[in-house]
Amino acid sequence: MISKITTQYFKQFASEEFTLGPLSLLAGPNNSGKSTLLQAAMVWNLAMQKWWEKKGPESGSKAKERQGAPITRQEFTALPLPSMDQLWTDTHTSFRRDEGKQGAPRPLVITLHGTDKVGGQWRFGFEFRYSGPEQIHVKPVAADIDHLETAREQVTVVYVPPFSGIGVHETRHDRPYQDMLVGQGKGGDILRNLLLEVAVADGGKAWERLETIVEDVFRYRLLKPSYDGTPYITCQYLKGIPIGRGFGGLAPLDVSTTGSGFHQVLLILAFMLARPSSLILLDEPDAHLHVLLQKQLYDILRELCHHSKGQLVIATHSEVLIDSTSPSQIISFYRKPHRLESESGREQVREALKRVSSLDLLLAENAKGILYLEGTTDFDLLKAWADILDHPLKEWFGKLPFWQNNQGRNPKETRSHFFALKAICPSIRAVLLLDGDNRSLPDREVTADGLTLLRWERYEAESYLLHPISLTRFLEAEKGPLFAKPALDYLREQLPPAFFNSPLETSHFLRAESASKTLLPELLNRAGLNLPKSDFFILARQMKKEELPQEVTDKLTAILDVVGTLRPQGG
């Protein structure tokens, strides 16, 4: 079994170590490195094949010549590359000045560590050196050469890419060409070839197993493929299970006519049954599958792997697979890849996959904290007020602020999002600013470790726009005194006299009345203005410092304390 894979200068992993078990689930967002780990194992396997073929003991090469074997880009079937330098971290194939040894070759190294059948430890690494866009040289790491026979005997690798389509016709392909198509992510192009292999594998037992699984899961009868006297491989199925011998009146249909879910399952099973291997790499096996089928397939895969004594490494986004896996079997690719240690860690990863967007990931890398608001209007009002007050928070607004629009949903959703975000940045903090109409919600149902809860004293943020002098100035500038007067008369009628005369005070009336739904729309309507709520920041921008109550400054300061500007390096 492979216990560990280490990489040096391989793609995005300048130096990384991955501990594996009989089952390892790789969970994380797109472009986080899940597929790169699978590729590292594939590249190691290709290096073993090519080096053994060209420089191994049976190649006829003399010992002193076994130092390195060339691999051309055309021979490199592990993954498609426009140039061989794409294998190196940042495509730097030589050391840079800040790394020392400037100009010296930068060796790319992939090492597999394992245990043999009697529990002994072994390790074997390959070193790759860049020879040009079309060629690299590969050789074993000198210190590991004594484990060459063990590594070659115990490690066989099969990679199954996500299903990407199936052609109408498919002819027989030799194994090197099949490997090239798989490396290009075109597994569907060899599905019929794999089914031919399954039909004769293990004396026919492999086909019986495949046939049984297809019947149990899809209620289809899979017919044995044929390639006899025809230019293409024939693979058919019956859309049902006939009773007795024959087709039972069911018409044979080509496998290309089924859905993508059936194709995905069939491709994975065909790989596993046609090519039993010690290390099986599955890239998003849950693709194209509904949640019930994801669970069914996952259980089947684990059972097949257990009986074949193989090892599964699965890259996934599936909440179903994550929920069905022990945390100790999950490697999280949020932040630095790490194995989970607890149920709460697994829950965070699951929630992060469901709730955290790619933009969240980007912003969280440099953010000290995140601001949660009930809507975009609240964000725009705060930004306008920070400018008017010349508050330090305006610097945060002027960059790429990390904030989340709760869209008026239950504030518990914010807590869930923050919980998921902490899977990416455990040290990140948050502040949630709620309207005053949420006062009935107990704090304990919203707050969490690192999450600060703030509430407006008035009904909502828009309530702070209700300053008669400020609104008079705005309306007269927009429509003139003649149109402004009826609107202001309306405001005087609606507001308590004490507040109208002292608008910086907060009255019981403003704690209970929605300015955005009643007072402001009617005020603007009476002045002949059609200003939607999303544009209320225009009202805020023309306010003056002395027209904003101290509470607005206090809220901005409390937010600043959490989100700051940018987190210091290493924070």
Residue 152: which of 4, 254, 36, 52 has the closest Cα?
52
Provide the token pair at 104: 């010296």
- Pairing type for strands 13-19 and 369-373 reads unpaired
Alpha helices per DSSP H over 91-161: 148-154
> Phi/psi of residue 122, each to 5°?
-145, 160
Strand order in the sheet with 330-332: 157-160, 279-283, 311-316, 23-27, 330-332, 338-339
Check residue 4 and give its pLDDT.
96
Out of 1.10.10, 3.40.50, 1.10.3470, 3.30.1120, select the CATH number for domain 1-155+325-342.
Answer: 3.40.50
CA dist., res. 157 & res. 282, Å (int): 11
Check residue 568 and give its pLDDT.
42
* pLDDT score of 244 more than 90: no
Across the range 297-325, mean pLDDT stands at 92
- The residue with greater pLDDT, 100 or 372, is 372
Across the range 406-432, mean pLDDT stands at 85
User: Given pLDDT bands bounded at 50, 70 and 90, which one contains residue 412?
Assistant: confident
Provide the token pair at 367: 């953010």
- The residue with greater pLDDT, 407 or 73, is 73
Contacts of residue 569, Cβ cutoff 8 Å, sequence gap at least 6:
none
Check residue 355 and give its pLDDT.
87
Minimum mean pLDDT range among 86-100, 104-118, 407-421, 470-484:
407-421
Check residue 440 and give its pLDDT.
65
pLDDT (tens digit, 9 = 90+) per residue, 536-559? 999 999 999 999 999 999 999 999
- The residue with greater pLDDT, 253 or 442, is 253
Judged by DSSP in three states, 353 sits in helix
| Segments of the chain assigned to CATH 3.40.50 | 1-155+325-342
CA dist., res. 320 & res. 298, Å (int): 9
Across the range 17-41, mean pLDDT stands at 94
Question: Please, is 283 exposed, middle or buried when counting C-beta atoms within 10 Å of its C-beta (0-12, 13-18, 19+)?
Answer: buried
* % of the chain with per-residue pLDDT over 90: 61
Across the range 226-247, mean pLDDT stands at 89
Across the range 244-260, mean pLDDT stands at 89
Check residue 73 and give its pLDDT.
94
State the number of CA atoms in the 13 A half-sphere of 55 facing the CB: 19
CA dist., res. 8 & res. 534, Å (int): 51
pLDDT (tens digit, 9 = 90+) per residue, 133-150? 999 999 999 999 999 999
pLDDT (tens digit, 9 = 90+) per residue, 253-291? 999 999 989 999 999 999 999 988 889 999 999 988 888
pLDDT (tens digit, 9 = 90+) per residue, 176-225? 999 999 988 899 999 999 999 999 999 999 999 999 999 999 999 999 99
pTM (predicted TM-score):
0.79
Report which DSSP code applies to 155.
Answer: -
- The residue with greater pLDDT, 36 or 230, is 36
Check residue 442 and give its pLDDT.
61
Across the range 428-445, mean pLDDT stands at 78
Q: Which amino acid is at 368?
A: K
Check residue 566 and give its pLDDT.
47
* pLDDT score of 443 more than 50: yes
Check residue 569 and give its pLDDT.
40
pLDDT (tens digit, 9 = 90+) per residue, 306-318? 888 899 999 999 9
- Mean pLDDT score across all residues of the chain: 90
